[in-house]
Structure 1
């Protein structure tokens, strides 16, 4: 299930240039974003690739069904693991199922814009929306891709600490559909290529349903992940160790939440919300340091917390570091709280056992 959601974040390459560009990069981006508001019905097929340190770690083919009424169905097949996953969103409920499992997961999505409800086009345009202030845009040329005349765009990150690195897009000049994309962020490169697109499909009435085996039970995904209000002592118990908390005279705790995640995530997590002089300031999230490919943090320069290198994500104003088996993340909520102030608070933390 985690892979299926992750695949919706992945995006590939192009062919030769030709002709004179007839639109500015700002005009193209504006049209791409505007086109996402009225997608209509689309059926598409494509492939996604994920590389870590130039090693291919995931190769996934996908089928996307999108109705003009807002229904979505996505089927992904992993060429490496031979695993197939499916997700259906009927506008009220999303059901996610991984072939061979005895459990499917449902999410109540009524009135929500969850990332897991996005097709590749919707996911890419959501990313572009968040990149307008953190990336520069330029047109590299016009190219024919999959029989479409496209604009080839380069989105260049303004800072090396950007959570989303450099991106290339190939955008259809008529429909503003993103035909291909390629994203590089640190050691990770993700690529996406549509191989077939039908802008006027006819769907059978049962398209946006899942025919699950009788032995499969549907479990609400949010049921096991509800936050529990807690205390510092209960947070310590959940993490099974003391952890660092903010300790400054004018900083106070508003709320403490303790999460228990099952499935592939399988961890406890603590989130503490802080105020400065009674105004919401930032939140601190703490959980066991994840392991495996792509899980390590980057290095955002000379700044550190108690000698530990930090990764700063400018888009969400997040400071992250690993310390004594735990991963810490401070996300700044208040625009009046500077990076320097949050970093100072991190360096002045004390262990929860000393509180």
Structure 2
């Protein structure tokens, strides 16, 4: 799948993660901290709206229309560079359908977690966005501007370090309801600009708004049946990966709760092994591994909270951000990651444990 089609597939998720709402106020003057605090507050009820916007990705300009209800139903109709690159995403409250015209394909899911992820509440959206940049960026407030006919605060977030995965950010936040009307996001060498050109809040929509008629002959794939995990033994895991793999033996109270294999399709197209460890029946950490792709991006951009460390004699990294703690390294053609679930376990302990990992063929 080429880069353009990847953006078309993921555009709905990107845009839907930018809606930002919280309680309104009559005060017209705020510091950056006050704007963020207001945006993080609980709302009395979610927003309902219709919007039209433009997304600029690299040298491409995409246009989309968006319908959203207070109950979380939504529809997004996005046009690509050509008419054939249209993508329509619909959540009717029970099922998500993502139709890609250029591929003559529709992806369908009734998974509750995916439904929630595709339609987060305003409070959750605010947390996802602002928590990521809160500790890694210096935030200032610029002059107010008119966006889509509405007055907006202009927040400018400058990354504290160079070459970070999440670079400089700019947000234009509606003064009345804290909705992000415009954003410019930098990630490494990539830049995404999204601007609403029309927005109507408090809209009510007929039920048939959130339906989609798929053309005859379209290929339908059920995402709930794709990439399902399979329980395997550690020996079977190595066989499916196609080479010996490292793992932690059960010792010092550490036990393997499960070993799962994900045969991933689509753009990833790889076998991934996930080993979950517990101690005293409580989650300890999870070890994931897969064969390192030849075209894996070797960008020098850093994730927020990332630090360089040495793991098993090779270069690795740790990432700590908002309760998320993980270690990453590559060894003998495999990519390894450890997600820490026990807050009492330190990176230093895990790095020491890693020196005792055993190879299984």
TM-score (norm 2): 0.79
2:274 pairs, out of 264, 267, 271, with 271
What is the rounded CA distance, in whole Å, between the counterparts of 2:353 and 2:282 in structure 1? 15
Q: CA deviation at 1:277?
A: 5.7
Q: How does 1:10-159 map to 2 (within 5 A)?
A: 22-34=29-41, 38-50=45-57, 56=58, 59-79=61-81, 83-110=85-112, 114-118=116-120, 124-128=125-129, 130-131=131-132, 134-135=135-136, 138-146=139-147, 147-155=149-157
The root-mean-square deviation of aligned C-alpha atoms, in Å, is: 3.4
Q: CA deviation at 1:238?
A: 2.0
Q: How does 1:200-279 map to 2 (within 5 A)?
A: 200-201=202-203, 203-247=205-249, 249-250=251-252, 251-276=254-279, 279=282
User: Could you say which residue in structure 1 is the equivalent of 2:10?
Assistant: 6
Change in 2 beyond 3 A, CA 1:302/1:27: closer
Q: For each residue in 1:5-53, what CA deviation from the matched residue of structure 2 results, as whole angstroms up to 9, or x when unmatched?
A: 63223689xxxxxxx9712333322332347673332111222334xxx
Q: Give structure 1 stretches of 5+ with no counterpart.
A: 13-19, 51-55
User: Could you say which residue in structure 2 is the equivalent of 1:53?
Assistant: none
Q: CA deviation at 1:232?
A: 0.6
Q: For each residue in 1:203-240, what CA deviation from the matched residue of structure 2 results, as whole angstroms up to 9, or x when unmatched?
A: 45422111101212533202122211111112112211
Whether the 8 Å CA contact 1:25–1:137 is kept in 2: the answer is no
1:339 pairs, out of 347, 350, 359, with 347
Whether the 8 Å CA contact 2:51–2:200 is kept in 1: the answer is yes
Change in 2 beyond 3 A, CA 1:181/1:100: closer
Secondary structure in 2 matching 1:337: coil
User: Could you say which residue in structure 2 is the equivalent of 1:303?
Assistant: 309
What is the rounded CA distance, in whole Å, between the counterparts of 1:314 and 1:294 in structure 2? 21
Whether the 8 Å CA contact 2:174–2:180 is kept in 1: the answer is yes
Q: Give structure 2 stretches of 5+ with no counterpart.
A: 19-26
Q: Which moved more, 1:311-320 or 1:162-171?
A: 162-171
Residue 323 of structure 1 pairs with residue 328 of structure 2: no
User: Could you say which residue in structure 2 is the equivalent of 1:17?
Assistant: none
What is the rounded CA distance, in whole Å, between the counterparts of 2:307 and 2:136 in structure 1? 19
Q: CA deviation at 1:329?
A: 1.5
TM-score (norm 1): 0.81
What is the rounded CA distance, in whole Å, between the counterparts of 2:240 and 2:71 in structure 1? 43
Whether the 8 Å CA contact 1:144–1:150 is kept in 2: the answer is yes
